[in-house]
Chain A
Amino acid sequence: MYGFEALTFNVHGGYLEAIVRGYRSGLLTAADYNNLCQCETLDDVKMHLSATEYGPYLQNEPSPLHTTTIVEKCTLKLVDEYKHMLCQATEPLSTFLEYITYGYMIDNVVLIVTGTLHERDVQELLEKCHPLGMFDSIATLAVAQNMRELYRLVLVDTPLAPYFSECITSEDLDDMNIEIMRNTLYKAYLEDFYNFCQKLGGATAEIMSDLLAFEADRRAVNITINSIGTELTRDDRRKLYSNFGLLYPYGHEELAICEDIDQVRGVMEKYPPYQSIFAKISYGESQMLDKAFYEEEVKRLCLAFEQQFHYAVFFAYMRLSEQEIRNLMWISECVAQNQKSRIHDSVVFIF
């Protein structure tokens, strides 16, 4: 019943919405970032963060800090918050929250499979995995030799199983295959998530479809740019695009035949929402594209908080804190390597 969420939403979702909005108000502000950017050492970063929500997570770290520790602890905070929310959630919010982690799961699967392909130690790889995307038998991924085995041995137990229907082959795994697998999985995941949100209806569907469409379009652009100059055929490339979003279907047809970045630009500039993104970037440049997309995404995510009684705030919060952790990682890295002039290259202010 669209428009009537106010009547019943708070029965199950009210508490958690309040919680997530409380979490959001703990996100670092522009003033915090300005202070962080002035730090001289990582200890200064720690000291500044000790006054924020990250304080309790960092306070027991012995003094020579590393960027990885900071990022690890910040991620731990996000994970704790997520787990708290998941514990409290009832259907369908719990499913919605679980959907958010599937993206991390896909990344983890790809990370482990690529790692084992290059004969890295599994334990070392596991430490690099995002804790939100962990599942029971993730370490067993190392056993698999090809896609079919991968599916049959491990992934059949995970929620990712249905997404595999597109990409079960008996070919041995190689880098190209894995990348295709990642994108196919992601495509299936996004479509599934999109459909799920549509089923939820109401403001959730409205806002989430906007956010997911943006995500899908961004992936389409990235796939196109990354596959330029590789042996991926146009049809294969076309297949990796998600079947929704602003670019679907005509934009996809055009993207599929792009040969260089300026052609991509030509395609994207036909879509008014993306015009502003590409307007910031000079011709032939693709380095700054990521940042421009992130900025646009952050803007949209923040807007999700303007409306009440919907689930998109949870998605938005998770994404925003992920962005925040990325920012912190970049800042700490710049501080640690004494490259403070480059701090502003990649930090996306959230507020």
Chain B
Amino acid sequence: MKFFDDLAPMDHFRSEDMSLVQLIMPVESAQLAVSYLGEIGLLQFKDLNEEKSPFQRTFVNQVKRCGEMSRKLRFFADQISKAGVTTYPDSASEEVIDLEQLEIRLSEHEVELLEMNRNSEKLQQTYNELLEFKLVLLKAGRFLGSAQNHAVMAETELVENNYSMKDEDGLSLLEQSIQPEPSNMAGLRFISGIICQSKELTFERMLFRATRGNMFFNQAPAGEQVMDPVSGEKVHKTVFVVFFSGEQAKSKILKICQAFGASCYPVPEENNKQKQLAHEVSLRLSELEVTLDAGMRHRNKALASIGSQLWNWTIMVKKEKAVYDTLNMLNFDVTKKCLVGEGWCPTFAKPQIKEALHHATIHSNSQVGIIFHDMDSSESPPTYFRTNRFTNAFQEIVDAYGVARFQEANPAVYSVITFPFLFAVMFGDWGHGLCLLLGSLVLILHEKKLGSQKLGSFMEMAYGGRYVLLLMALFSIYCGLLYNEFFSVPFYIFGESAYKCRNADCSDVHTVGLIKYRDPYPFGVDPKWRGSRSELPFLNSLKMKMSILLGVSQMNLGIILSYFDAKFHANPLDIQYQFIPQMIFLNSLFGYLALLIVIKWCTGSQADLYHVMIYMFLEPFGNLGENQLFWGQKELQVTLCIHLLYREMDVFSMCSTTEILLLVLVIIEVCLILYADIIIDSGHSGSSLDAFSKTIYLEETTDRGRTYGILGTSEMDVDHEPDSARHQHHEDFNFSEVFVHQMIHSIEFVLGAVSNTASYLRLWALSLAHSELSTVFYEKLLLLAWGYDSIVIRITGLVVFAFATAFVLLMMETLSALLHALRLHWVEFMGKFYHGDGYKFKPFSFKLLADEED
């Protein structure tokens, strides 16, 4: 134990030491101070105004102003992207302007832009109208022309039709004669216009119904797309001409046109006039086009100049808003003209923060300095690990399960190696490993480029875990070499095989087996095993046992970590009544099994370990000599086994036929002792369960007076004290609750020890599945296709093999092995010691702010 105490502390093993600090800032320097703190990004402010709604807070107006500014900035960005102006952030001319100036400038720009938009919109509308008119003239003129040609023939018919219809409608014939159109003897009139293509069908139907079929509808696609002024999109339009008769019909049709948003344009019937008009319209169109272009150029220039600054401004406004949001979390003390803030910061960052606050005082010409001092708290501090880009992904893996409790042993330290290693045990193939390695190297080499751009969800994931991927690939290569697999092909890398066939033609490899003729293969699995009769039994036994060894050692590591935790938090109860029984239980069962495995490997014995393990329980006093398989071993082994068995008996305190039941009883007994201690314990302190918070509590009660003494304000009495951390949470000690909890915990551990060990067998299962799958792809796809003499079949086979390897083996198998490795860490390993009920340190930082938005 002394040895462990002397070990150098690991940086990453415990989260940073945190302190609760209080800041008392004069109003004039508060804003600057907070923005400096944002630059450092190592202080997490506590919200002291939680009960206040957002608009009741002190700096609500500033927040609103920032919101308004960011709205304007969004408006600019929207306009810029709509106009299609490409802008480059102009980092050279980074001028320093303050918020007021920026606000004024932004509103100036907005007014200017809105004005320009309005003008250009008006022009655009006129332009569109003229364009539509031109189209109508062009198309409708054609209808009218052809109509006039046919008019002579159609006239009589139309007249008849009209008369008969009018009669039915009961209108007098006089009416008809009152409105003779000079140009059209049939009394036919027409309306021409243009309408959206999508509405054209219903429009026609509606016209038909409204006029009871007394109309003639002619339409043609406009050919050109016309800009819709509202949405700014180009739409297909259709030119139409409706022929009808009667005044009532006209008003109806006009109403319908209006309802459908169709614009009507008068088209003169004479060809000359039409031509003349068309000419005029084209003239005006070209004039307008010039004006529009000039306006557009002007606008684009304005937008480009805004665009060059937009990025800086956005950042600035965002920072300001964050500063005011933070200031809103502080308590405002009106009489003293100062702001009181509280927050967590890592202890190492204190000098840095103090310096920044000092600078802020000087830069804001404040008479009074900012007071910065420690406070005591019973609240558990946030968890903060300083990670780099390599460890970050591993920390994320652990955090995904639960953020570590404050200063709890951090499993991420071990995950850095164990996670990729367990993955590789399942993914062992050095061919696939090389592919993964290439992929991860590409990601790492292009780290800078990829980091700055937006990636898809899958790439994002791969990029985030690039270093995990790298380690996974390296370990896969290592395990692949051990398994001697390269796309399921064995290679003779480390010399000759130790085995040879019995006869020259190797015909009986699958039936009889091989004979050994020289020293064992120096590294990994002998390549000759591949395809032989004993390949599967051998590999299965190897991998199964290896899984158990790995599992037992990883679980032991977990339990040992719980010892360090208990030690660190000075909790001897946990060591005596949790760590020691757990160690003994796990190791007397599965530790013993692991030992047997190692001995069996070392000695090459034929013993049946199932039998040993089962009869250890069924007949603990039975003569092991009856176990035939076991009898032939060396004497040392027998005595070791018996010794272990008896030790186990010893641990389980009494002999019984059903050991497990007894063990549960023992554990419960152990728990009972634990509770007895707790009861005594709680009787003394009257507080909570663990010694850690107890000491804090004691310290705090003594320090309370001092903390308030500094503030010394009459307003801040204890009730209105903003610090929520100081509110005591007296946990009621409930014996039955703790008892039940602990009982569940012990039963879970006992049952879990069995099921967790079994769970590690997934290492074997997945590794087997992986190698079998790659064998199938290799033999049934590639070799089969290669057997044919046709180049087409060979290439097809190769392509299918490549795709199967890439998608099934490299992607899906990677994912599944990854998930299984995750599970082994989360459940089997971390379940032994990790609480994971802390909360993350979220400092107020401008850097995080910028990342968040992207």
Interface residues in chain A, defined as those with a beta carbon under 8 Å from any beta carbon in chain B: 35, 38-40, 43-44, 47-48, 50-51, 59-63, 122, 136-137, 139-143, 152-154, 157
Closest A residue to B75 by beta carbon equals: A60
Closest to A152 in B: B209
Determine whether the beta carbon of A140 is less than 8 Å from that of B260. yes
- Say yes or no: B206 contacts A153, CB within 8 Å: yes
Q: Does B230 contact A (CB under 8 A)?
A: no
Known: A137-B206, A140-B259, A143-B256. A62 touches B54 (CB 8 A): no
The SS class assigned to the B binding surface is helix
Question: Nearest Cβ in chain A — how far from B769, in angstroms?
Answer: 31
Measured in the bound complex, the distance between the Cα atoms of B324 and A47 in whole Å is: 15
The answer, among B56, B60, B255, B261, for a CB contact under 8 Å with A143, is B255
Q: Is A48's CB under 8 angstroms from B53's CB? A: yes
Contact B252 A143 (CB under 8 A): yes
Cα–Cα, bound, A311→B63 (Å) = 43
B54 touches A139 (CB 8 A): no
Total cross-chain contacts (CB, 8 A) = 62
Chain A residues lying within 8 Å of B256, measured Cβ to Cβ, are 140, 143
| Complex: chain A residue closest to B74, CB-CB | A60
A154 to B75, CA, bound (A): 40
* Residue pair A47, B259 in contact (C-beta under 8 Å): no
Give Cα A48–Cα B54 distance, bound, in whole angstroms: 7
> Does B446 touch A at the CB level, under 8 Å?
no
Minimal beta-carbon separation of B67 from chain A (angstroms): 7
Q: Taking the complex as formed, is B68 at the interface, i.e. its CB lies under 8 A from any CB of chain A?
A: yes
- Interface membership of B93, Cβ < 8 A: no
- Additional A-B contacts beyond A44-B55, A139-B261 (12; CB < 8 A): A38-B53, A48-B54, A48-B55, A51-B54, A137-B202, A139-B260, A140-B259, A140-B260, A141-B259, A142-B255, A143-B256, A157-B202
CA distance A319 to B67 in the complex (A): 32
Partner among B56, B68, B255 whose Cβ is within 8 Å of the Cβ of A38: B56
Q: Are B75 and A153 in contact (CB under 8 A)?
A: no
In whole angstroms, how far apart are the Cα atoms of A5 and B779 in the complex?
49
CB atoms of B56 and A47 under 8 A apart: no
Cα–Cα, bound, A152→B68 (Å): 51
A122 touches B71 (CB 8 A): no
CA A70 – CA B261 in complex, angstroms? 27
Q: Are B206 and A47 interface neighbours, CB within 8 A?
A: no
In-complex Cβ contact of B54 among A47, A137, A157 (8 A): A47
Q: Is the CB of A60 within 8 A of B71?
A: yes
Q: Which of B68, B71, B210 is A153 in contact with, Cβ under 8 Å?
A: B210
A-B contact pairs, 28 of them (CB 8 A): A38-B53, A38-B56, A43-B64, A44-B55, A47-B55, A47-B67, A48-B54, A59-B74, A62-B68, A63-B68, A122-B258, A122-B259, A137-B202, A139-B258, A140-B210, A140-B255, A140-B256, A140-B259, A142-B259, A143-B210, A143-B252, A143-B255, A143-B259, A153-B206, A153-B209, A153-B210, A154-B206, A157-B202
- Within 8 Å CB of A44, what residues of B? 55
Contact partners of B54 in chain A: CB under 8 A: 47-48, 51
Residue of B nearest to A34 (CB): B53
- Give the top 5 A-B pairs by smallest Cβ distance, nearest first: A139-B259, A35-B53, A44-B55, A140-B259, A143-B255
For the complex, what is the distance from the CA of A38 to the CA of B56, rounded to whole Å? 9
Expressed in whole angstroms, the Cα–Cα distance for A59 and B321 within the complex equals: 15
Report the Cα distance A141→B260, complex, angstroms. 11
CA–CA, A142 and B256, complex, Å = 8
Chain A residue nearest to B54 (CB atoms) is A47
B residues 84-129 near A (Cβ < 8 Å) are none
Please, which residues of chain A bring their CB within 8 A of the CB of B199? 136
In B809-850, the 8 Å CB interface with A consists of none
Task: State which residues 247-272 of B face A: CB under 8 Å.
Answer: 252, 255-256, 258-261
Residue of B nearest to A136 (CB): B202
Question: B459 to chain A: closest CB distance in Å?
Answer: 27
Contact B202 A47 (CB under 8 A): no
For residue A40, which residues in chain B have a CB less than 8 angstroms away from its CB?
55
- State A43–B60 Cα separation when bound (angstroms): 11
Which chain A residues lie closer than 8 Å to B209 at the CB level?
A: 152-153
Chain B, Cβ-Cβ closest to A63 = B68
Contacts of B74 in A (CB 8 A): 59-60
Residue of A39, A44, A48, A152 with most chain B CB atoms under a 10 A cut-off: A44
Chain B residue, CB-CB nearest to A139:
B259
The closest CB in chain A to the CB of B205 belongs to A157
Q: Closest approach, in angstroms, between the C-beta of B324 and any C-beta of chain A? A: 13
- Alpha-carbon separation in the docked complex, A143 to B252 (Å): 6
A154→B67 CA distance, assembly (Å)? 46
- CB-CB under 8 A from B202, the residues of chain A are 136-137, 157
Across-interface contacts of A157 in B (CB, < 8 A): 202, 205
Q: In B34-80, which residues have CB < 8 Å from any A CB?
A: 53-56, 60, 63-64, 67-68, 71, 74-75
Do the beta carbons of A47 and B71 come within 8 Å of each other?
A: no
Residues of A within 8 A of B261 (CB): 139
Assess A47 versus B60: contact at CB under 8 Å? Given A59-B71, A60-B75, A152-B209.
Answer: yes
Q: How far apart are the CA atoms of A51 and B68 in the complex, in Å?
A: 15
Question: Does the CB pair B55–A140 fall under 8 Å?
Answer: no
Which residue of chain A is the closest to B63 with respect to CB atoms?
Answer: A47
Find chain A residues with CB under 8 A from B55 CB. 38-40, 44, 47-48
Taking the closest CB of chain A, its distance from the CB of B231, in whole angstroms, is 15
Assembled-state Cα–Cα distance A269/B308 (Å): 71
Within 8 A of A (CB), among B208-231: 209-210
Which residues of A lie under 8 Å from residue B252 when comparing CB positions? 143
Residues of A within 8 A of B68 (CB): 62-63
Q: Once the chains are docked, how many angstroms separate the CA of A316 from the CA of B254?
A: 42
Cα separation A143 to B56 with both chains bound (whole Å): 53
Chain B residues with CB below 8 A from A61, complex form? 71
In the complex, how many angstroms separate the beta carbon of A82 from the nearest chain B beta carbon?
21
Residues of A within 8 A of B75 (CB): 60
Q: Which of A59, A63, A140 contacts B206 (CB 8 A)?
A: A140
Q: Shortest beta-carbon distance, B245 to chain A, in Å? A: 18
Closest-by-CB residue of B relative to A59 is: B71
In Å, the complex CA distance between A104 and B580 comes to 72
Q: How far is the CB of B475 from chain A (nearest CB, A)?
A: 40
Q: Shortest distance in angstroms between A206's beta carbon and chain B's nearest beta carbon? A: 40
In the complex formed, the residue of A with least CB distance to B199 is A136
- Complex CA gap A44/B60 in Å reads 9
Task: Find chain B residues with CB under 8 A from A154 CB.
Answer: 206
Q: Which residues of A contact B56 (CB under 8 A)?
A: 38
